[in-house]
């Protein structure tokens, strides 16, 4: 059954979409933050299945100058798309049915916000067990997927992206940056495997795994996709692999500043600072997920430096050593946080995360972090500074060749 929604392009400023998404915080945080981030390339597109309030809306209008959000359809989809970001996240999206009570679409499709799927006789079965056979999706997948209004909106948006968004090869400079990111992680993986062959076996992705889609226009990576859109994309056969439990992430949300603890003081010989460019290779080596130099330079950051040999008094920042760091990603989420082994167990991770959120507060008072389900250490850090897991989300690879066959 074909989708009946229509997709519209919004001004590149995001000014005609951001006020609407604000109504749905914190559910809409990933897309809301991405639209508010200053970094947008010429390839970026902002889309939704409702039109801008005014087709000639000024791209440079301030929030105070914008009209109050007009009445939205009950079910709609919205997205930020930039295929030049591959192999990192190329698309952030929001589907209105993610919000509890907004519509009946999630219930009709058998989805709970935490990523659970409800089918006959399977009230507690979870979307995302390690093996698909554990899930008993047979009854659900043997029939034609139900075209709910949210499904219609999402399929319309995906079809628009598949047929209208241009894919261009990377420049030589950009490709070298991407490949170097993978090589640095390979070096870390090799060292980790030698020290802890079993514990680290699957923690660091292979070079080829990271680069597998960099030259492939037929695959697009979606980030922080909630349970409802993940299920729709899966049921309509648009995913390279299903949203399994082992790949699920908690979406932790925080209230800033009142919900954050002040944390401990740094110990003697330590000081705060921003991550310096000279430290970026170290950051990239320590990250299990490859990060490009360009990306880390753009992101806001906070670091802890050791100040041995009197560098604190002399102010010679270049001679101090980074021992912990964290960044805020394009969608405002806590990213690439790391504490060197000899400095762990001192509360630095919690203090660092809280300070970073305080240093770059958002006017809406929310902060965001993603943690792999079952990553106990990172879960403890987020919960220790007041984080609440709002939902499960996934990073998904979409088969764009299949998307193009959606019948509109």
Q: What pLDDT digit, counting tens, does each position of 69-101 carry?
A: 557 899 999 999 999 888 889 999 999 999 988
Domain hosting 203: range is 172-211
Collect all residues with Cβ–Cβ distance below 8 Å to 161 and sequence separation of at least 6.
45, 47, 79, 81, 91, 220, 400, 403
Residue 230, domain member (yes or no): yes
Residue 384, domain member (yes or no): no
Q: Tell me what pLDDT residue 114 has.
A: 55
Q: Tell me what pLDDT residue 265 has.
A: 84
Residue 381, domain member (yes or no): no
Q: Tell me what pLDDT residue 122 has.
A: 35
Q: Are residues 110 and 190 in the same domain?
A: no
Q: Are residues 125 and 82 in the same domain?
A: yes
Residue 54, domain member (yes or no): yes
| N-term to C-term CA, the chain | 9
Q: Are residues 156 and 27 in the same domain?
A: yes
Rounded to 10 degrees, the C-alpha dihedral 167/400/27/370 comes to -80
Task: Provide the CATH number for the domain around residue 297.
Answer: 3.40.630.30
List pLDDT tens digits, range 319-372. Answer: 689 999 999 999 999 999 999 999 999 999 999 999 999 999 999 999 999 999
Q: Tell me what pLDDT residue 245 has.
A: 86
Q: Tell me what pLDDT residue 288 has.
A: 81
CA 5 to chain centre: 26
Q: Are residues 22 and 119 in the same domain?
A: yes
Provide long-range contacts, Cβ within 8 A and 24+ apart, for 190-194.
Answer: none
CA atoms in the 13 A half-sphere facing the CB of 48: 25
Q: CA–CA separation, 330 vs 35, rounded Å?
A: 9
Q: Are residues 163 and 291 in the same domain?
A: no
Determine contact, residues 50/73, Cβ cutoff 8 Å: yes
389 φ/ψ angles, rounded to the nearest 5 degrees? -75, 110
List pLDDT tens digits, range 111-132. Answer: 865 554 433 333 333 333 222 3
Q: CA–CA separation, 168 vs 42, rounded Å?
A: 12
Q: Are residues 228 and 94 in the same domain?
A: yes
DSSP classification of residue 13:
T
Q: List the chain residues with pLDDT less than 50.
A: 1-3, 58-61, 63-67, 116-140, 200-202, 204, 311-312, 317-318
Cis? peptide before 26, omega within 30° of 0: yes
Q: CA–CA separation, 151 vs 232, rounded Å?
A: 6
**Total domains, the chain:** 3
Determine contact, residues 406/161, Cβ cutoff 8 Å: no
Q: Are residues 179 and 165 in the same domain?
A: no
Q: Are residues 223 and 307 in the same domain?
A: no
Residue 258, domain member (yes or no): no
Residue 241, domain member (yes or no): yes
- Burial of 121 per CB tally in 10 Å (0-12, 13-18, 19+): exposed
- List beta partners, residue 391: 251
Residue 338, domain member (yes or no): yes
Q: Are residues 184 and 320 in the same domain?
A: no
- List beta partners, residue 252: 369, 389
DSSP classification of residue 206:
-
Q: Tell me what pLDDT residue 159 has.
A: 96
Residue with tokens 């008072």: 365
Q: Are residues 47 and 118 in the same domain?
A: yes
Q: Are residues 179 and 229 in the same domain?
A: no
Q: Are residues 244 and 319 in the same domain?
A: no
Q: Tell me what pLDDT residue 74 has.
A: 93
Alpha helices in 1-42 (DSSP H): 18-22, 29-36
Q: CA–CA separation, 325 vs 352, rounded Å?
A: 7
pTM of the model: 0.84
CA atoms in the 13 A half-sphere facing the CB of 68: 1
């Amino acid at each position: 059954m074909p989708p009946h929604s229509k997709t519209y392009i919004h001004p590149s400023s995001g000014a005609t979409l951001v006020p609407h998404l604000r109504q749905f915080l914190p559910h809409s945080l990933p897309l809301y933050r991405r639209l508010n981030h200053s970094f947008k390339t010429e390839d970026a597109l902002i889309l939704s299945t409702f039109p801008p309030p005014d087709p000639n809306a000024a791209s440079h209008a301030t929030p105070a100058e914008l009209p109050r959000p007009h009445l939205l359809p009950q079910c709609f989809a919205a997205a930020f798309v930039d295929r030049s970001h591959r192999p990192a996240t190329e698309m952030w999206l929001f589907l209105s049915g993610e919000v509890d009570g907004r519509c009946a679409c999630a219930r009709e499709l058998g989805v709970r916000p935490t990523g659970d799927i409800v089918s006959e006789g399977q009230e507690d079965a979870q979307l995302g067990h390690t093996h698909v056979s554990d899930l008993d999706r047979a009854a659900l997948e043997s029939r034609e997927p139900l075209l709910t209004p949210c499904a219609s909106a999402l399929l319309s948006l995906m079809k628009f992206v598949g047929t209208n968004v241009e894919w261009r090869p990377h420049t030589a400079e950009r490709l070298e940056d991407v490949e170097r990111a993978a090589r640095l992680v390979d070096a870390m993986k090799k060292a980790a495997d030698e020290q802890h062959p079993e514990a680290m076996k699957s923690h660091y992705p292979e070079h080829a795994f990271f680069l597998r889609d960099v030259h492939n226009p037929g695959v697009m990576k979606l980030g922080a996709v909630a349970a409802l859109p993940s299920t729709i994309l899966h049921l309509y056969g648009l995913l390279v692999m299903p949203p399994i439990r082992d790949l699920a992430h908690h979406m932790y949300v925080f209230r800033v500043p009142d919900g954050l603890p002040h944390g401990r003081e740094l110990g003697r010989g330590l000081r705060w600072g921003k991550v310096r460019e000279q430290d970026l290779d170290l950051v990239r080596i320590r990250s299990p997920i490859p990060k490009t130099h360009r990306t880390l330079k753009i992101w806001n950051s906070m670091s802890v430096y050791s100040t041995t040999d009197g560098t604190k008094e002399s102010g010679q920042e270049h001679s101090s050593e980074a021992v912990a760091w964290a960044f805020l990603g394009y969608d405002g989420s806590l990213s690439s946080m790391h504490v060197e082994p000899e400095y762990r167990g001192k509360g630095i991770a919690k203090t660092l995360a809280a300070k970073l959120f305080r240093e770059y507060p958002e006017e809406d008072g929310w902060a965001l972090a993603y943690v792999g389900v079952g990553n106990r250490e990172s879960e403890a850090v987020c919960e220790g500074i007041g984080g609440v897991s709002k939902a499960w989300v996934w990073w998904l690879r979409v088969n764009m060749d299949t998307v193009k066959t959606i019948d509109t």
